[in-house]
Structure 1
Amino acid sequence: MKKYDYSLKKYAKIARQAAAEGCVLLRNENETLPLRTGDKVAVFGRCASYYYKSGVGSGGLVNTKYVVSILDALKAYKGITIHEPLLQIYEKWIKENPIDEGNGWGTVPWSQKEMPISDEIIALAKKDSNVAVVIVGRTAGEDQDNKNEAGSYLLTDIEKDMISKVSKAFERTVVLLNVSNIIDMKWVEEYHPSALMYVWQGGQEGGNGVVDVLTGQVNPCGKLTDTIAYDITDYPSSAYFGDSKKNYYKEDIYVGYRYFESCAKEKVLYPFGFGLSYTTFDITANIKEVKEDKVSVAVMVKNTGKKPGKEVVQVYIKAPQGKLGKPLRVLVGFGKTRVLKPEESQELLIDCPKSYFASYDDAGITGHLSCLLLEEGDYDVYVGADVRSASHCGSFFQKEVILEQLQEACAPVECFERFKLQESKTKTYAMAWDRVPVRKIDIKERIKDLRTSEIAYTGDRGYRLVDVFEKKVTMEQFIAQLSEEDLRCLHRGEGMCSPKVTPGTAGAFGGVTPRLREFGIPVACCADGPSGIRMDSGAFAFSLPNGTLLGCTFNLTLIEELFQMVGIELLKNKVDTILGPGINIHRNPLNGRNFEYISEDPILTGKIAAVQLKAMHEFGVTGTMKHFCANNQEQDRCVVEAVVSERALREIYLKGYEIAVKEGHARAIMTTYGPVNGIWTAGNFDLCTVILRKEWNFDGIAMTDWWASANWEGQEDQKTNRAAMVLAQNDIYMVCQDAHEEEEIDNLKEELECGVITRSDLQRNAKNILNFILQSPAMLHELGKMNLDDIEDFNEGEDVATTPEITEYFPVDLETGRLILDCIDETIQFKDIINFGITTAGEANYSILLEITTSLSKLAQIPISVYFDNIYRGTISIQGTEGKTILVTEKIGYIKGKYHYIKLVCKEHGVTINRIEIIKEVE
């Protein structure tokens, strides 16, 4: 391993820069920004101090040692003065109106109650301030979508009133949107704030990044990764989003700007790629070279303003309409300059692969069925700072050419109509309707044709996985030793919070049984992401800017530097793969999980995912791309079916994954919960084998999402149908409590005996898993060859992530459903925080009972916060007992899985917890 500087200080510096470069300035009238030395700033909005560092759920709840809010960062900046009386008003109001943290991530509100702003407050602030900063916050996340309602996609009446009053009172009013996704923006033209900026969710350094931009230390250079339309109904997907059973992707390939720039420009408030700067740039470009496989565009960028800054250059192609029909703009390449001083120029050479703007013919209308091709005609190249302002810089003639002869895969079984762009006699375009081709192939026959040969069983020949590592035996010789039971167990990942790997992580796979360990198969570890390592044990990790913000940077070099740090952090914590990047497409603004994902554009998404993976690969660790594919709605995500054409899949929803595999050399991928075109993705052979492995040459592992289902086509989905997953070449089922115990639960043994799956299917999956482990740090740890000393400053200063020393799990009694802990036992002495592991008695609702004695008076208010798997579940509030003992309870909620963590936090002195009971509730 090469020498590499790793420290919290460096990590924070890079993350802070990323948070700054992801800020997108949409409005800046009369040079409201940057803030000037001597400005007196009035700060409005409770989210000034309650900063949303990320969305919620598995992709966001990273436990951090600190989070810098926007207010924290403003206070630390010496060049301005913050209006203290206004802050004191907010502090008093917030104390009386505490944050609603929900009870588990499915109950977290997307916004918090905001303080009403009276005319008296405005007058007070205006008297001693010349600038107002208004902060509006939103979160979002797993299991539920945004809604076209106040407090979610729309502003509340109180928020509108606050922006309106402040904007009228202050000539310089800056509105900051600390949000996970784009929100409704119609209010901007109604209230006219003089400056407006999306600051997204910047992780633990987010507040610093925002203030760097506000104060001009970083010139804003972020660009929108989504089109912001006037109304939610203007997005073509909105009419086909939110159903509980099926969503028809009738907009087809016309997603985001591909639709708006083709036939609905008038519906756009802020176009894709848009973002202002404190300076100005001149962009000139020409086509430098057209080769067989790519187009190269030379771009000269000159800073024509008065301040130094960076600019993003975007290259778009307008292809001929041909027989298939095309969007009028498709992003095919981009680049970002260094910081340019006034009058300084930089030339960028942007290579644009032709595969980025090729079309897939799923109907045979061109005479080339199931081909990725370029139709004959003139291709126009546009270059600029956003999709709308990009200007024509040249054209080239392209003969018809087939780039790839593919095969039908994942086609719909249900006929429906989709959009197709149609040119009128006046050379304008509108959407017409076209019938979607349905599946023609026989999947069962395809599975038989592609089935691999069985490796004859030899029994234990004494080979260990190290022998394959050292090339003493082949992988086939090693796998020949594994019994059918071994192979079935290898398919089963364990978790959450498995004690076999780093405490609190999401799962373990590989050598999860004693017999597999005897073969020298190590246990590999995966942790939730992509916004940082989520560990339910309460261990600290670094919280990253969210996916959308990273997309808005358009800065591949910066993202590479950031994910090099992620790679080292994973290595340090013995995590082989983080569950990310999230690379689904922003099909609709209401998808609650858009914050994890990057963009409405598949090329930008794929390029950013690829560079994240390559950066982590430098340190032997990797990311698990998710959610494969078409996870574009969180509500009813386990059952709602995506009904989508094969063309839209290949050009939009799979394209980012393809780029990440081919350019980022992806090694792991996670399927979704729900079905695509009738087949749940966890057991979708066309998706996991034909496209992923046969066409893209992916040679890594595929795993399910946690507790996912699969189905035989035409039948209902079942969590126990692991045979469908094995057959599809989805290598690992995530997750089981115990791989051995699962023999009595899943259908692997039964379907193997019936011949539905074969030993060769299990052996093929085993080969994928073991080849992954051979390339992972888990194997080096197994061999005692992992040396972290080559990372400079590894142990210097404050650690970024720390693993708690939880060595014992206390079992809930299976018969009584109770766990009783005597806190006099020195294993859990109470010192502000009690943190311990438990093993539960099966899936059920649980409560916690505390026996408490305090020496405090009855006037004392004592809050005890209860966390389950590092997720806040509620606060037990008691008064002082003056030495008496009391019993109090709090509901933990529904628990599934075997291993968990309980954390109790109480900052009051003179409190003794004598006894803790974890109680399984009787139905």
Structure 2
Amino acid sequence: MDQQYIKEHKIGVPYEGFAEFTRKVAAEGVVLLKNDKNVLPLQKGEKVSLFGRAQINYYRTGTGSGGSVNVLYTSNIVEGLRTKKDVELNENLVSVYEEWIKENPFDDGGRAWAAEPHCQKEMPVTDELAKEAAKHSDKAIVIIGRNAGEDKDNTPGEGSFLLQQEEINTLETVTKYFDKVVVMLNVSNIINMSWAEDERFKDRIQSIIYVWEGGIEGGNAVADVLVGDVTPCGKLTDTIAYQLEDYPSHENYGDADVNLYREDVYVGYRYFETFAPEKVQYEFGFGLSYTTFETSTNAQVIVDKDSQSTIKLQVAVKNTGATYAGKESVQVYVEAPQGKLGQPAKKLVTFAKTKVLAPSEEQNLVIEFKVADLASYDDSGVTGHKSCMVLEAGEYGIYVGSSVRNCVRVAFKTSTGDKTGYVVDELEVVAQLQEALSPIKEFTRMKPGKRLDNGAYELTYEAVPTRSYSMKDRIEKNLPPTYPQTGNKGITLRDVADKKATMEEFIAQLTTAELATIVRGEGMCNVKVTPGTAAAFGGVGDSLFGYGIPLGCAADGPSGIRMEGGYKATQVPIGTLLAATWDAELIEEMYVFEGKELLRNEVDTLLGPGMNIRRHPLNGRNFEYFSEDPIITAKFATAQVKGILAGGSTGTLKHFACNNQEYRRSFVDAVVSERALREIYLKGFEVAVKEGGANSIMTTYNPLNGFWNASNYDLNTTVLRNEWGFNGIVMTDWWAKMNDPIEGGEGTATNTAAMVRSQNDLYMVVANDGAEINTWNDNTVESVKNGSLTIGELQRCAMNICEFLMHAPVFGRKQDFSSSVQFYSPMEKKVEDGEVVNIAKNNQVPMKENGNSIIEAKAGTYLLVGKVRNNKGNEAQSACKLLINGETALVMQVNGTDDKWTLIRLTRVELGDGQYEIGLSGMTDDMKIEHIEFRDIE
């Protein structure tokens, strides 16, 4: 894609109005945990002092591929408050921080992969500084910043999950001199909150507010909330327990090889409300406002035409405050009978959010859900119905409120009188499924015992059912047909779209080598698609492209479009904040903008939403995800997918499934019961497929119950396609491993035959221009030859890929790859002095860390090859621009090479006779480039 095309089509130009909309969203996701004496919002004429470097070095997102978005600007908290005319900022204190930061600049880890620290060095706040600030200010705001991300879990110690000592010192000093103190958390995930009850200063901290990481407009959004332009209406989507050890997953989190999910379906609040309510500091769903609300509820059961019962709630919500308008979330929980399966004390069923209600204004909401949504999965047969979704007999209590604890049980109006819940007279089978994904390893899981005097349940354990079927038989019974290979009949993919030929007739033309090529994606930073993006896939070989199979483009990620090389996009708030809005309709509206920006940048699928369950607070990637709850996850993933589709592109659900730690993420086996998978970890994906229309999914790096997900047949075929009816593509995560879908064993990155057999369609990624020549030496063709993989299985994946591309934006774009050879004119002014490399005599041009090299070239076409190294592991990603005469020739991406030198193919350029200036831009500290080799190919 040449520079002229990029300019003409506004590639790298953020979509108009998108950033402004994210400001609205970022404000609505703010969660107010404490607000004694109404210290917030800041009042007209008040003076405020800001402490903490995050007032300037505002965190807008987490790190890694899910947060790496190049932006036009970032609004910080200082700048946001400066726009508020009614509030006076202590500019003298701001100046002190600005000068200190000049001497102590932000540590970005050299922009190397996973190198940025979890927190930054903080300026010591002396008694003199705080005392002087208090003379000129009414209130103090202490801002605490944290970050984490891909390949970088949080740590349990100071400066990550815990406050660092300098932050404790700041709180102690500031509360000594200020009577009104606000603590603001600019973080990617919940942190330990024990300091909020520290006797030294807890009574002098009047307000605590989570502002999370709000994207490009986050600083302005924070200011909007602080001054009351927006009333906070966010709610927690995680439980904040007193200690890290209180979380039920903690004892089985972070192992290098095996992670036992012994808490089973009792994740987050489902555990705490059932077994350990005393360990909760801030409950799930909690969040304060500047105003107050009152709700009243009527409930009834209606019977649909298809005889499926629906519970209908009519909820009246009134703003009972006198000053501030605001929104309220209405949360609906169920208390199911314990039965034989055992149940959490409460489970979220659905939720809704009001419009902005003025003081004394009331809104009536109608909230409906299917009774079938209350069903549970029997993976043991204890109910007499193994592998079924069942409703056990008994009374199902329905609760409505604003958090899992601030809710009341509603009475039902029925034809036979009022009842205290929905009654199931005898067990009902809601769905007959089949055993799938069950564990091989034996372990035990939590189950409620007898009810205790405090209303909680005794914690007991039971054995988890293990696999009872033959994976070999299942796969062999469901092998797809093989279509006799016909050779080229002149049928194009456009003919299939125009219904002049069938997809089967089209795919039958492809040779085995071509079928093996199409299941390989290329990247990152492929020059044939949008610069700096994650992958090109589809027509990655000349012959495939000749059949009219276009080259689709995939780009990270959950926080906005990642385009390396400086191309700009809109950074949206992190997933933690999006879910904290409890407003799926708002998020869907925002992602329509995302879809339009993807369309402008010629990206066919965004690698997001990230939607794994936040099982443990230390997972570094929690910022991409939504919640510890599967219903929250389902609603917001569905909203994002629907929004992107409405905007014109597609989203890719990830990471499928059980990506719950970054440490050893390519190796650690998630050992999970089938019930927990279906009710917790797969539920969001299921709803996003069935209700959101998702047509692209990315599998995880890790194995699940012994099988790497990139080659997990039950995950990708039995459940996803056969049960849920998914029609789309499944891709691996980048440079993933696969193992045998029947025998298991070690995972390798070259076992693509196992990937194809499982119906994970695309291997992401091989080197650019490497798909057709099998640069990674995978085993696809070899497996066909030895009979361990059928042609039909390859054809099935090829059809999935082509079907997706026919309905992707790329199918409506003109593609011409002659532009992949870019022409450059020589410099006008010839360099007489200094060292000039004559590439006819020495085609290896040294790359200088500071400065450019001058080459003398003869007219011709050259293949550029770089000798590079990166001191990180293979999954690390770094990029820079290669410049010719100051123009971007390509975005050059280098994976981690474990500090070993390697050669990578870059691009082809056409040069005239003369001199050229060759340089690099945007190098990161983990990346070295020794030379660029100009190979004459004509």
TM-score (norm 1): 0.88
What letter matches 1:55 in structure 2?
A: G
Asked if structure 1 preserves the Cα contact closer than 8 Å seen for 2:708 and 2:747, the reply is yes
Alignment of 1:271-670 (within 5 A): 271-291=283-303, 292-306=308-322, 307-394=324-411, 395-398=421-424, 399-424=426-451, 426=453, 428-670=456-698
Q: Does 1:107 align with 2:115?
A: yes
Alignment of 1:881-920 (within 5 A): 898-899=905-906, 904=921, 918=931
Asked if structure 2 preserves the Cα contact closer than 8 Å seen for 1:510 and 1:521, the reply is yes
- Measured after TM superposition, the shift of residue 899 of structure 1 is 4.7
Match of 2:257 in 1: 245
What letter matches 2:795 in structure 1?
A: Q
806 and 548 in structure 1: CA distance in 2 versus 1, 3 angstrom threshold: farther
Asked if structure 2 preserves the Cα contact closer than 8 Å seen for 1:15 and 1:205, the reply is yes
Asked if structure 2 preserves the Cα contact closer than 8 Å seen for 1:332 and 1:353, the reply is no
452 and 359 in structure 1: CA distance in 2 versus 1, 3 angstrom threshold: same
Q: In 1, Cα distance between the equivalents of 2:745 and 2:269?
A: 38
147 and 92 in structure 1: CA distance in 2 versus 1, 3 angstrom threshold: same
Asked if structure 2 preserves the Cα contact closer than 8 Å seen for 1:848 and 1:916, the reply is no
Match of 1:163 in 2: 171
Asked if structure 1 preserves the Cα contact closer than 8 Å seen for 2:35 and 2:207, the reply is yes
Task: Please state whether the residue corresponding to 1:594 is helix, strand or coil.
Answer: helix
Match of 2:134 in 1: 126
Q: Does 1:212 align with 2:220?
A: no
Match of 1:11 in 2: 18
899 and 339 in structure 1: CA distance in 2 versus 1, 3 angstrom threshold: farther
Task: Please state whether the residue corresponding to 2:652 is helix, strand or coil.
Answer: strand
What letter matches 1:751 in structure 2?
A: S
Task: Please state whether the residue corresponding to 1:468 is helix, strand or coil.
Answer: helix
Asked if structure 2 preserves the Cα contact closer than 8 Å seen for 1:136 and 1:176, the reply is yes
What letter matches 1:165 in structure 2?
A: T
Q: In 1, Cα distance between the equivalents of 2:879 and 2:549?
A: 38
Asked if structure 1 preserves the Cα contact closer than 8 Å seen for 2:67 and 2:560, the reply is yes
Alignment of 1:138-149 (within 5 A): 138-149=146-157
- Measured after TM superposition, the shift of residue 308 of structure 1 is 0.8
Task: Please state whether the residue corresponding to 2:184 is helix, strand or coil.
Answer: strand
Deviations 1:690-746, CA, capped at 9 Å, x for gaps: 000000000010000000000123421111111110000000000011102216610
Q: Does 1:758 align with 2:765?
A: no
Structure 2 unaligned residues grouped into runs of 5+ = 1-12, 412-420, 826-836, 858-862, 873-877, 882-889, 908-917, 934-938
Match of 1:80 in 2: 87
Moved more, 421-430 or 615-624: 421-430
410 and 570 in structure 1: CA distance in 2 versus 1, 3 angstrom threshold: same
Asked if structure 1 preserves the Cα contact closer than 8 Å seen for 2:277 and 2:456, the reply is no
Asked if structure 1 preserves the Cα contact closer than 8 Å seen for 2:153 and 2:663, the reply is yes
Task: Please state whether the residue corresponding to 1:194 is helix, strand or coil.
Answer: strand
- Measured after TM superposition, the shift of residue 816 of structure 1 is 9.2
Q: In 1, Cα distance between the equivalents of 2:788 and 2:140?
A: 67
Asked if structure 2 preserves the Cα contact closer than 8 Å seen for 1:845 and 1:894, the reply is no
451 and 608 in structure 1: CA distance in 2 versus 1, 3 angstrom threshold: same
Match of 1:716 in 2: 746
254 and 17 in structure 1: CA distance in 2 versus 1, 3 angstrom threshold: same
Asked if structure 2 preserves the Cα contact closer than 8 Å seen for 1:494 and 1:508, the reply is yes
Moved more, 119-128 or 427-436: 427-436
Q: In 2, Cα distance between the equivalents of 1:283 and 1:358?
A: 27
Match of 1:794 in 2: none
Q: In 1, Cα distance between the equivalents of 2:481 and 2:446?
A: 44
Asked if structure 1 preserves the Cα contact closer than 8 Å seen for 2:527 and 2:820, the reply is no
- Measured after TM superposition, the shift of residue 425 of structure 1 is 6.6
Q: Does 1:693 align with 2:721?
A: yes
What letter matches 1:100 in structure 2?
A: D
Moved more, 613-622 or 331-340: 613-622
Q: In 1, Cα distance between the equivalents of 2:905 and 2:243?
A: 46
Q: In 2, Cα distance between the equivalents of 1:28 and 1:870?
A: 48
- Measured after TM superposition, the shift of residue 620 of structure 1 is 3.2
916 and 452 in structure 1: CA distance in 2 versus 1, 3 angstrom threshold: closer
Deviations 1:129-160, CA, capped at 9 Å, x for gaps: 11111110001001121111000000011101
Task: Please state whether the residue corresponding to 1:702 is helix, strand or coil.
Answer: strand
- Measured after TM superposition, the shift of residue 279 of structure 1 is 0.3
Asked if structure 2 preserves the Cα contact closer than 8 Å seen for 1:620 and 1:775, the reply is no
Match of 1:781 in 2: 813
What letter matches 2:764 in structure 1?
A: M
Match of 1:859 in 2: none
Match of 1:799 in 2: none
TM-score (norm 2): 0.86
Q: In 1, Cα distance between the equivalents of 2:689 and 2:713?
A: 18
Match of 1:854 in 2: none
What letter matches 1:583 in structure 2?
A: M
Deviations 1:222-274, CA, capped at 9 Å, x for gaps: 00010000000000100100110111000000000101111211111100010
RMSD (CA atoms): 3.0
Alignment of 1:803-882 (within 5 A): 819-820=846-847, 823=852, 839-841=865-867
Deviations 1:734-772, CA, capped at 9 Å, x for gaps: 001110221661001111111111000000001110010
Q: In 2, Cα distance between the equivalents of 1:553 and 1:197?
A: 14
Task: Please state whether the residue corresponding to 1:575 is helix, strand or coil.
Answer: coil
What letter matches 1:733 in structure 2?
A: Y
Q: In 1, Cα distance between the equivalents of 2:739 and 2:755?
A: 9
Q: Does 1:195 align with 2:173?
A: no
Asked if structure 1 preserves the Cα contact closer than 8 Å seen for 2:379 and 2:435, the reply is yes
609 and 463 in structure 1: CA distance in 2 versus 1, 3 angstrom threshold: same
Asked if structure 2 preserves the Cα contact closer than 8 Å seen for 1:844 and 1:895, the reply is no
Match of 2:159 in 1: 151
- Measured after TM superposition, the shift of residue 668 of structure 1 is 0.3
30, 44, 47: which one aligns with 1:23:
30
Deviations 1:378-408, CA, capped at 9 Å, x for gaps: 0000000011111111311124211111111
Asked if structure 1 preserves the Cα contact closer than 8 Å seen for 2:867 and 2:903, the reply is no
What letter matches 1:640 in structure 2?
A: V
- Measured after TM superposition, the shift of residue 95 of structure 1 is 1.2
Alignment of 1:172-187 (within 5 A): 172-187=180-195
Deviations 1:436-489, CA, capped at 9 Å, x for gaps: 000011111101111111111111111111101111111111111111111100
- Measured after TM superposition, the shift of residue 902 of structure 1 is 8.0
What letter matches 1:766 in structure 2?
A: A
What letter matches 2:244 in structure 1?
A: I
- Equivalences, count: 846
- Measured after TM superposition, the shift of residue 46 of structure 1 is 0.5
- Measured after TM superposition, the shift of residue 98 of structure 1 is 1.2
Moved more, 421-430 or 458-467: 421-430
Q: In 1, Cα distance between the equivalents of 2:310 and 2:401?
A: 19
Q: In 1, Cα distance between the equivalents of 2:143 and 2:88?
A: 17
Asked if structure 2 preserves the Cα contact closer than 8 Å seen for 1:843 and 1:897, the reply is no
Structure 1 unaligned residues grouped into runs of 5+ = 1-5, 785-802, 829-836, 851-866, 874-890, 907-914
Q: In 2, Cα distance between the equivalents of 1:82 and 1:819?
A: 51
Q: In 1, Cα distance between the equivalents of 2:361 and 2:654?
A: 41
Q: In 1, Cα distance between the equivalents of 2:213 and 2:599?
A: 25
Task: Please state whether the residue corresponding to 2:97 is helix, strand or coil.
Answer: helix
Q: In 1, Cα distance between the equivalents of 2:166 and 2:864?
A: 44
What letter matches 2:433 in structure 1?
A: L
Q: Does 1:231 align with 2:258?
A: no
